[in-house]
Structure 1
């Protein structure tokens, strides 16, 4: 069952794959712990599992993520949908910069048009949001992008983007933000309620909290984290001890459904409505894990129980 991006936007699978780690050596150990062959196998497994939606960005692996996706797509005739992102660098100060960045992304992806084009961060420096949103609306009119999204925008910034695009007859389809059982700020800061009010879909990145919700990291099996996880205190031994009750609850609910903690955590996000989780995946096994979140549902009381267990005061 596909879900639309925004009110009447392009339809995509209810779960996507985030590709930040594809080709990225800066935060992830691409080339050491996994390589292009692993990613190609992950791509194929995703398609076989019915996941045809991939989220990338020009900044991921400095273009390498887009390039790999472009390569993999040449080897299938399945209708893959791609979301990518424009990075608002300080020296990009006119509308031409948006057109040029999109041209470069489309070239790497080997596509004439992209399903969703998002502004990666709400910076605008000298360009300003009005110029930026008008440049994106121009690209919709020209057919090079089908839907416009933003990422990491606050409720107020999202309202402004929505208003500027609406002036051009273009809907704001998406706000991509961090959202998981362990990162529920958007429920409190107005982003989730504003998105619902405006008909904007939430793409949830880090929906497994970089793996914390998989149950793979426990105090008993503690080893010092590597890569991007080194920066996160939740991966420390004391952080994992604090998290143990949530992991145990995910496990017990998962046992009732024959599912893993990760699949329960992803299903909880889907149950919120208007939310598409985009967990990362670096190999086929991780894709299969993610895909197991589909095709079943938590009960209302289980959704509430997980919410209560992860609610911050």
Structure 2
């Protein structure tokens, strides 16, 4: 989840400035290595703005919003939360809806006291949805939240118990997607059973995992398949400069099994937006990841991203999000802290980089050593 402050060329889903022919066209896929689709991955596009999440029946927007920063004071917001930041978060939510983005990803630990936060992100998201629905009763929002595989949580019952607590904070009777936030320390079979139980009890429409390796992904997929339940998604750290899912087999396995990749930190927590320079690195914990040395090495790539963006009248942020979409079977979920950022994210769809541009950006990014963001995947 990352900040994006460039607002030139902002465009919502409904007003991208491109013809309907271009809006309907499928995104080109890159030449990144991938496994053969033994499970028969269906074409993900179901309409102009939405796609099917894995093998589930859930349809979500091609870009979502990450709500990690909402209420958080341990990593984001300069360790402070106040009324202005609350208003900014609400404005970001409403701007997202206005732009046609209706998928929101949160977690029980975001903003919670467990993570030394100020107020639960789930509570805020539920409040924003409730207030918006008072004006628009027919509004449909896809909520994705996550179960924290804490060491003392054992068995399938812990998943259902945590889910019900999340539903209470969100103020809803069910959510669209429930995910295991990270692999369990003592094993995952019980947690996977809990996901299946949640589906069968009607508490969720689809289930997924997060930060799962290829082997764990296959095991979870197989266990759920035995109950006739699809594993809809695997949420991993994935961006132009952090392509571990391509390198460790996770992306190829997701494509093979028909599991959608949800990409968190898709703009490298702001490092790819062009906002930060060696003389102006990000503050807080991000400054220890994206150091002046790292930002110096990124400058040629960021310059080229800007040049390509100029061709399409798009910002750096919109280009790097579109780059992920062009991989096929990927939904980026950048974090929106302001309305301006949310509007900008809306302009990442409805158009497509060329195959040559996708490959060129990957080639340039491959010359830069990746940095590990937070949280570290593959726990």
Q: Could you say which TM-score interval applies, normalised by the shorter chain?
A: over 0.9
Residue 251 (structure 1) aligned with residue 306 (structure 2)? yes
User: Which string of whole-angstrom CA distances, capped at 9 and with x for unpartnered residues, describes residues 265-289 of structure 1?
Assistant: 0000001110000000101011111
CA contact (8 A) 1:17 1:280 kept: yes
Give 1:124 shift.
3.8
Residue 227 of structure 1 corresponds to 284
Q: Secondary structure at the match of 1:117?
A: strand
CA contact (8 A) 2:56 2:231 kept: no
Give 1:228 shift.
2.8
Residue 241 of structure 1 corresponds to 296
Q: Secondary structure at the match of 1:60?
A: coil
Give 1:223 shift.
3.2
Residue 265 (structure 1) aligned with residue 320 (structure 2)? yes
Find 1:138's aligned residue among 197, 202, 205: 197
For the aligned residue pairs, the C-alpha RMSD in angstroms reads 1.4
Residue 86 of structure 1 corresponds to 147
Residue 182 (structure 1) aligned with residue 232 (structure 2)? no
Q: 5 Å matches for 1:101-116?
A: 101-116=162-177
CA contact (8 A) 2:50 2:62 kept: yes
| Higher RCO by CA contacts (8 Å cutoff, separation 6 or greater) | 2
Whichever structure has more helix as a proportion of its residues is 1
Residue 12 (structure 1) aligned with residue 68 (structure 2)? no
Q: Secondary structure at the match of 1:15?
A: coil
CA contact (8 A) 1:140 1:146 kept: yes
- More off after superposition, 76-85 vs 201-210: 76-85
CA contact (8 A) 2:56 2:206 kept: no
Residue 274 (structure 1) aligned with residue 324 (structure 2)? no
User: Which string of whole-angstrom CA distances, capped at 9 and with x for unpartnered residues, describes residues 25-74 of structure 1?
Assistant: 11112515952111111110000000000000000001610000000111
Change (3 A) 1:115 1:26: same
Q: Which runs of 5+ in 1 are unaligned?
A: none
Residue 290 of structure 1 corresponds to 345
Residue 209 of structure 1 corresponds to 268
CA contact (8 A) 2:64 2:105 kept: yes
Q: Secondary structure at the match of 2:111?
A: helix
Q: Secondary structure at the match of 2:256?
A: helix
**TM-score, length-scaled by structure 1:** 0.95
User: Which string of whole-angstrom CA distances, capped at 9 and with x for unpartnered residues, describes residues 237-256 of structure 1?
Assistant: 22111000100110000000
- Tell me how far apart the structure 1 counterparts of residues 185 and 191 of structure 2 sit (CA, whole Å): 8
- Tell me how far apart the structure 1 counterparts of residues 148 and 238 of structure 2 sit (CA, whole Å): 21
- Tell me how far apart the structure 2 counterparts of residues 94 and 231 of structure 1 sit (CA, whole Å): 37
CA contact (8 A) 1:9 1:173 kept: no
Find 1:68's aligned residue among 124, 136, 153: 124
Give 1:118 shift.
0.3
Q: Secondary structure at the match of 1:174?
A: strand
- Tell me how far apart the structure 2 counterparts of residues 226 and 34 of structure 1 sit (CA, whole Å): 19
Residue 57 of structure 1 corresponds to 107
Q: Secondary structure at the match of 1:85?
A: strand
CA contact (8 A) 2:276 2:282 kept: no
User: Which string of whole-angstrom CA distances, capped at 9 and with x for unpartnered residues, describes residues 223-243 of structure 1?
Assistant: 3532230330xx222211100
Residue 45 of structure 1 corresponds to 95
